[in-house]
């Protein structure tokens, strides 16, 4: 149906429908037949690049040709995050309604910089973030904004924490070459995410100005160590300005004692940011809401629905009771951005570094409505049950040992080899062999110097059969390696 008449240079509506239907069919089949693909791309570096032309095409190409290359060049280089065997990192698995919301967002292609530029985007963001806040049982005065990821959210939190020390006038005068500005100190635990350091780099705080607080043997920040560090720093002329606590650390999902940390922060007038990027979602389940104990005292809080709430990346929900401080940090309105409604509406551009903003709230809206809060709770509850079940299997098998508590659905473990002397190397080999099967994909971390394999149950398509299958593969590969080692 090649139509020579153009539609303002774009595809004609007929062509759009033809390929649109074809693409939706393609996506539906892809999601249905995901098991036919290896979850982890089984290719070498350069394999995709080498199949693509070095220069852009001067002449138009058909959608048929583009789709053919998706199948033949792109697909072999895909690691399939939507594959049910994806149990690595913290997943971002996309549900049908989440994918459709993304499609609609692309079609609208709005820029939600201020209310006027798209009132629906602004007001839907306000409403769905208020829904999510209620689902998490966070206080009513927590005001929300969507950023692109946990790293951005934390960077914005650190910027707001610095602006909270308004008397330093860093917004206007900067930090360098000013003897009157004390060295600012930021605190995180040994297990705090690397995005905290990146935020400090970006904002000119500097990596050396981050103090790493020791953890206990369950990988949780030790509050007394934090208090000691703050006191010591004050004595030495530092200005403590921000603590980042974590609910659900990346390696093991350990949960810092936020309640106690918050009291130390209040006492010292230090901003507390809570990074609950992955684990925060679990707090929607009533019997797990306790993981957010103390978060009501935080100055900012982040949870990423794109990690465990079944929507395509990128949706990171940031909350703060200090809406005005966040605005003071980032608002800069040039004449061309002023609108008649400025005094009565939210202009989200005032609360972050982004001016242009995607219609991300559609994904939250579609997903929450399609599943309902009860539906989401049921899926999460099952993940949490499966995580516990897998942890029990590890605990009951003498060939394996658990390396961290499993408070949620992430299990950290390693195998014990009878033949290999280097246990770290053995476990790395084991993980690579498991991943080579293409059926499941696991990732690793190091805990107390031990190579640790992580299995995460957080996928929209997870079920007990899949977790059992993963366990069978892990045991089979372990046996194979041990026999070879014998
Ligand atoms: N914080 C924690 C605890 C994380 O586990 C992650 C990523 O997994 C991040 C922050 C970074 O989130 P994002 O990838 O959305 O920037």
Domain boundaries, the chain: 13-93, 111-358, 377-485
Q: What is the pLDDT of residue 486?
A: 42
| Contact between residue 165 and residue 137 where contact means Cβ atoms under 8 Å apart | no
Q: What is the pLDDT of residue 5?
A: 55
Query: Which tokens go with 68?
Result: 């053919």
Between CA 98 and CA 112 the distance in angstroms is 19
Query: Which tokens go with 88?
Result: 């690595």
Residue corresponding to tokens 């774009």: 10
Between CA 4 and CA 15 the distance in angstroms is 11
Q: What is the pLDDT of residue 482?
A: 84
How many other CB atoms are found less than 10 A from the CB of residue 58? 5
Half-sphere exposure of residue 446: CA atoms within 13 angstroms, side-chain side: 7
Q: From 153, 166, 128, select the one nearest 300 (Cα to Cα).
A: 153
CATH value of 377-485 in 3.90.1150.10, 3.10.20.30, 3.40.640.10, 3.40.50.2300: 3.90.1150.10
| Binding-site residues, ligand 1, Cβ < 6 A | 90, 149-151, 193, 195, 246, 248-250, 275, 277-278, 304, 316
Query: Which tokens go with 97?
Result: 């309604």
User: May I ask the CATH class of domain 13-93?
Assistant: mainly alpha
Q: From 362, 419, 365, 367, select the one nearest 110 (Cα to Cα).
A: 362
Ligand 1 atom closest to the Cα of residue 276 is: 3
Q: What is the pLDDT of residue 199?
A: 98
Q: What is the pLDDT of residue 283?
A: 98
User: From the CA of 465, how far away is ligand 1's center (Å)?
Assistant: 28
CATH value of 111-358 in 3.40.640.10, 3.90.230.10, 3.20.20.70, 3.90.220.20: 3.40.640.10
User: From the CA of 398, how far away is ligand 1's center (Å)?
Assistant: 33
Between CA 410 and CA 417 the distance in angstroms is 23
Tell me the best of 86, 93, 193 to mutate to test the pocket of ligand 1, counting ligand atoms within 8 Å of each CB and taking the most: 193
Kindly report the pTM of this predicted structure.
0.96
User: From the CA of 246, how far away is ligand 1's center (Å)?
Assistant: 11
User: From the CA of 365, how far away is ligand 1's center (Å)?
Assistant: 22
Ligand 1, atom 10, lies closest to the CA of: 150
Ligand 1 atom closest to the Cα of residue 149 is: 15
User: From the CA of 154, how far away is ligand 1's center (Å)?
Assistant: 9
**Topology match between the domains 111-358 and 377-485:** no
Query: Which tokens go with 364?
Result: 């939250």
User: From the CA of 337, how far away is ligand 1's center (Å)?
Assistant: 32
pLDDT in tens, the chain (486 residues): 444 555 678 999 999 999 999 999 999 999 999 999 999 999 999 999 999 999 999 999 999 999 999 999 999 999 999 999 999 999 989 999 999 999 999 999 999 999 999 999 999 999 999 999 999 999 999 999 999 999 999 999 999 999 999 999 999 999 999 999 999 999 999 999 999 999 999 999 999 999 999 999 999 999 999 999 999 999 999 999 999 999 999 999 999 999 999 999 999 999 999 999 999 999 999 999 999 999 999 999 999 999 999 999 999 999 999 999 999 999 999 999 999 999 999 999 999 999 999 999 999 999 999 999 999 999 999 999 999 999 999 999 999 999 999 999 999 999 998 777 899 999 999 999 999 999 999 999 999 999 999 999 999 999 999 999 999 999 999 999 987 654
């Amino acid at each position: 149906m090649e139509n020579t008449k153009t539609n303002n240079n774009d595809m004609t509506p007929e062509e759009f429908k033809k390929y649109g239907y074809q693409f939706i069919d393609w996506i539906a089949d892809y999601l249905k037949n995901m098991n036919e693909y290896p979850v982890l791309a089984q290719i070498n570096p350069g394999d995709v690049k080498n199949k693509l032309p070095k220069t852009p095409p001067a002449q138009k190409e058909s959608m048929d040709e583009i789709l053919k290359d998706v199948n033949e060049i792109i697909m072999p280089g895909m690691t399939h995050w939507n594959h049910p065997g994806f149990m690595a990192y913290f997943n971002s698995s996309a549900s049908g309604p989440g994918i459709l919301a993304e499609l609609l967002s692309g079609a609208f292609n709005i820029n939600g910089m201020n209310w006027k530029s798209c009132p629906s985007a602004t007001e839907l963001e306000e409403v769905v973030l208020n829904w999510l806040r209620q689902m998490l049982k966070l206080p009513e005065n927590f005001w929300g904004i969507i950023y692109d990821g946990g790293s951005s959210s934390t960077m914005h939190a650190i910027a707001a924490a610095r602006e909270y020390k308004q008397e330093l006038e860093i917004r206007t005068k900067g930090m360098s070459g000013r003897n009157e500005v004390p060295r600012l100190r930021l605190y995180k635990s040994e297990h705090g995410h690397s995005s905290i350091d990146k935020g400090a780099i970006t904002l000119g705080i500097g990596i050396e100005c981050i103090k790493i607080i020791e953890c206990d043997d369950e990988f949780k920040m030790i509050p007394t160590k934090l208090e000691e560090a703050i006191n010591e720093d004050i004595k030495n002329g530092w200005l403590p300005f921000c603590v980042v606590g974590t609910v659900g650390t990346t390696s093991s999902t350990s949960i810092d004692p936020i309640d106690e940390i918050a009291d130390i922060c209040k006492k010292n007038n230090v901003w507390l940011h809570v990074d609950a990027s992955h684990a925060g979602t679990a707090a929607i389940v009533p019997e797990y809401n306790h993981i957010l104990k103390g978060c009501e005292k935080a100055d900012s809080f982040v949870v990423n629905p794109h990690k465990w709430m079944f929507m395509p990346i990128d949706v990171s929900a940031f909350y703060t009771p200090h809406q005005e401080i966040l605005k003071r940090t980032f608002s800069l309105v040039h004449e061309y951005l002023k609108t008649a409604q400025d005094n009565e509406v939210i202009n989200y551009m005032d609360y972050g570094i982004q001016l242009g903003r995607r219609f991300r709230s559609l994904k939250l809206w579609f997903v929450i409505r399609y599943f309902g809060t009860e539906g989401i709770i049921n899926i999460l509850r099952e993940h949490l049950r499966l995580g516990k079940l897998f942890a029990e299997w590890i605990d009951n098998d003498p060939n394996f040992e658990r390396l961290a508590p499993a408070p949620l659905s992430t299990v950290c473990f390693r195998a014990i080899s009878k033949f290999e002397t280097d246990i770290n190397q053995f476990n790395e080999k084991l993980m690579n062999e498991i991943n080579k099967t293409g059926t499941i994909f696991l990732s690793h971390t190091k805990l107390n110097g031990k190579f640790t394999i992580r299995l995460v149950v957080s996928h929209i398509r997870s079920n007990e059969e899949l977790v059992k299958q993963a366990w069978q593969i892990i045991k089979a590969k372990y046996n194979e390696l041990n026999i070879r080692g014998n």
